[in-house]
Amino acid sequence: MADRGFDLEDRLETLEETDLKRALSPVDRVAERGYFGEPSGGDLPVLETAEALVFASNNYLGLTDDQRVQDAARQAAATVGTGAGASRLVTGDTMVHRDLERLLAEVKGTERALAFSSGYAANVGTIAALEPDVVFSDELNHASIIDGCRLADAETAVYDHCDAASLRSQLEERARTATRDGRDPADESWLIVTDSVFSMDGTVAPLEAICDAAESFGAWVMVDEAHATGLYANGGGVVQAEGLEDRVQIQMGTLSKALASQGGYVAGSAALIECLVNDARSFVFSTGLAPPAAAAASEALHVARHSGAREQLWENVAHLRDGLESMGFEVLGESQILPVLVGDRTDTIDLAEGIRERDVVAPAIRPPTVPEGTSRIRVAPMATHDEDDIITCLEAFSAAGEEVGLL
Ligand SMILES: Cc1ncc(COP(=O)(O)O)c(C=O)c1O
């Protein structure tokens, strides 16, 4: 009988041959340093004996091992439960979810907020539930936005990265073709979606210019603040830093990066949240966010607003960027993410290995994740790195950069 299954060995070989096969490397804990293990497949991993400094995590404020955040998770587990047990619409809606959503709405300056079980689920569920006729999407938007557009079956117009003029010309083009084809553009629903901070480039979207363009055409704006939430004005994101709360209809983000937890959220009008509660399938048909995750995120958001963690992060970012640039490296972007541009793929891998040999972890990012010729090392400092950690990282880059012949 013919085998109607799947040739998985062949797929894995192809990944191996094209240098695209990924592997899982475990670590003993999530913090600014840890003991890593070599990829071990399904076998029990063996951790290395040397501790490595982590400059590769989205745990930007270092709050995953903060006592207050851990205590909040512990307490929620003990008093509410370890899991939500059901969809929020059944019996999984608890007081810790409500506390978190109230705080998120306050920080994001919106009427309401809604917690999802991941940022991925928030993006996919929200875009699909809105059912936009056309989505205007930055070319470097996150995969969950792209998947949301696919699920919504929306026509997608991709504009150049962080380029409001390119967005405007896409909006004009769509208005022209709609009129030409006998459709009234006013009958179509248009959604502009952008990350605020882009995770591989460290760039920040020109949100004000995007809002200007949107308003000229009556489109709505959705901003993904995954890499910004907790880090900007008053613990908000770039939308808060730029005072655009009233011009951005949908603010989305995750609880899994600076907020040191798990889950995602959408903040916006009461009507938007009511629609998502009813129509976002990733909300309706998925178990509610685990109560310890909701409580940890609330506490982390509180710490992000009221402690010196944000200032410490931005100080570390400035120190590291200055140090890398004064060595002669080109550092991209204008956020807490510091992509060190190398260009050549092999040199980038060698540089990443060189710093790893010096017990500093920062990943090589290569095609197809980034365009050919723009391979880079993504360096992500944390608020909990001290000055010695930053110096160790800089020394590793200096020594490995010379070894590879880049300096
Ligand atoms: C820009 C962006 N949006 C959404 C997500 C998805 O968030 P989560 O990891 O909470 O599913 C990520 C995370 O990888 C992201 O970087």
Summarised one tens digit per residue, pLDDT across range 244-264 is: 999 999 999 999 999 999 999
How far is it, in rounded angstroms, from Cα 313 to Cα 385? 8
Predicted pLDDT at 129: 98
120 C-alpha to ligand 1 centroid (Å) = 6
CATH number at residue 334: 3.90.1150.10
Q: What is the pTM of this model?
A: 0.97
Mean pLDDT of 347-358: 97
Please check whether residues 300 and 323 belong to one and the same domain: no
Q: How confident is the model at residue 86 (pLDDT cuts 50, 70, 90)?
A: very high
Ligand 1, atom nearest to 198 Cα:
1
Phi–psi pair at 223, nearest 5 degrees: -120, 125
- 75 in a structural domain: yes
Is residue 20 included in any domain, yes or no? no
The pLDDT assigned to 182 comes to: 81
| 107-126: pLDDT as tens digits | 999 999 999 999 999 999 99
Is 199 a known active-site residue? Answer: yes
Say whether both 154 and 277 belong to one domain.
yes
Q: Could you tell me if residue 44 is inside a domain?
A: no
Is 286 a catalytic site residue? no
3 state SS for 160-189: CCCCHHHHHHHHHHHHHHHHHCCCCHHHCC
Same domain membership, residue 322 and residue 217? no
- The rounded mean pLDDT for the chain is 96
Q: Residue 164 in contact with residue 174, Cβ under 8 Å?
A: no
Are 96 and 294 in contact by the 8 Å Cβ rule? The answer is: yes
- Which residues lie closer than 8 Å to 315 by C-beta, 6 or more apart? none
Residue 159 lies in a domain: yes
Closest CA to 116 of 231, 278, 280: 280
Distance of CA 208 from the midpoint of ligand 1 (Å): 23
What is the predicted pLDDT for the residue at 319?
98
d(CA 134, CA 382): 38
Count of domains for the chain: 2
- Choosing from 199, 256, 261, 298, the catalytic residue is 199
- Given 108, 227, 286, 335, the catalytic residue: 227
> What's the average model confidence in pLDDT over 185-208?
95
Of all residues in the chain, the percent with pLDDT exceeding 90 is: 93
Residue 19, pLDDT score: 84
Give the integer Cα–Cα distance in Å for 242 and 247: 11
Structural domain including 350 reads 308-404
Backbone angles phi, psi at 210, to 5 degrees: -65, -45
pLDDT at 205 over 80: yes
156 and 143, same structural domain? yes
* 365/393 same-domain check: yes
Give the closest residue (by CA) to ligand 1 atom 7. Answer: 119
Span from the CA of 110 to the centroid of ligand 1 (angstroms): 21
Angle of CA points 209, 258, 267, to nearest 5°: 55
User: Quick one: 237 and 101 in the same domain?
Assistant: yes
54, 306 contact by CB (below 8 A): no
What is the atom index within ligand 1 of the atom nearest the CA of 256?
A: 10
Query: Does residue 29 fall inside a structural domain?
Result: no
Residue 21 annotated among the catalytic residues of the structure: no
Q: Edge-to-edge strands of the sheet including 220-224?
A: 112-116, 264-268, 250-254, 220-224, 190-195, 134-138, 155-159
> Which residues, at least 6 apart from 268, have a Cβ–Cβ distance to it below 8 Å?
110, 111, 112, 113, 249, 250, 251
pLDDT on residue 13: 96
Dist. CA 299–CA 291, nearest whole Å = 12
Instruction: Give pLDDT, residue 42.
Output: 87
119 CA to centre of ligand 1 in angstroms: 5
With the most atoms of ligand 1 within 8 angstroms of its CB, the residue from 254, 265, 336 to mutate is 254
Q: What are phi and psi of 63, to 5 degrees?
A: -90, 0
Ligand 1 atom, smallest distance to 255 CA: 10
Same domain, 312 and 295: no
Q: Which pLDDT does position 148 carry in this prediction?
A: 97
From 306, 341, 370, the end of a domain falls on: 306
Same domain? 343 vs 377: yes
Residue 81 has what pLDDT?
98
pLDDT band for 28, please (50, 70, 90 cuts): very high
Q: How confident is the model at residue 183 (pLDDT cuts 50, 70, 90)?
A: confident
How far away, in angstroms, is 4 Cα from ligand 1 center? 35
- Stated as kind and residue range, the H or E segment containing 298 is helix 291-306
- Specify the ligand 1 atom closest to the Cα of 144: 4
Q: Does residue 150 sit in the same domain as residue 284?
A: yes
For residues 240 and 345, state if they share a domain.
Answer: no
Three-class HEC string of 41-84:
CCCCCCECCCCEEECECCCCCCHHHCHHHHHHHHHHHHHCCCCC
**Ligand 1 first shell, C-beta below 6 A:** 118-120, 123, 142, 144, 195, 199, 224, 226-227, 254, 256, 264
Of 222, 223, 135, which Cα lies nearest the Cα of 171? Answer: 135
Bridge partner list, 264? 116, 254
Q: 283: Cβ–Cβ under 8 A, 6 or more apart, which residues?
A: 87, 88, 114, 116, 121, 125, 276, 277
Could you read off the pLDDT of 265-308 as tens digits, one per residue? 999 999 999 999 999 999 999 999 999 999 999 999 999 999 99
Q: Are residues 164 and 248 in the same domain?
A: yes
Report CA(222)–ligand 1 centroid distance (Å).
Answer: 14
The domain boundary, picked from 306, 331, 357, lies at 306
For helices 95-108 and 291-306, what crossing angle results, to 10°?
Answer: 30
* Residue to probe by mutation, ligand 1, list 120, 198, 238, 250, most atoms within 8 Å of CB: 120
Residue with tokens 């004005």: 233
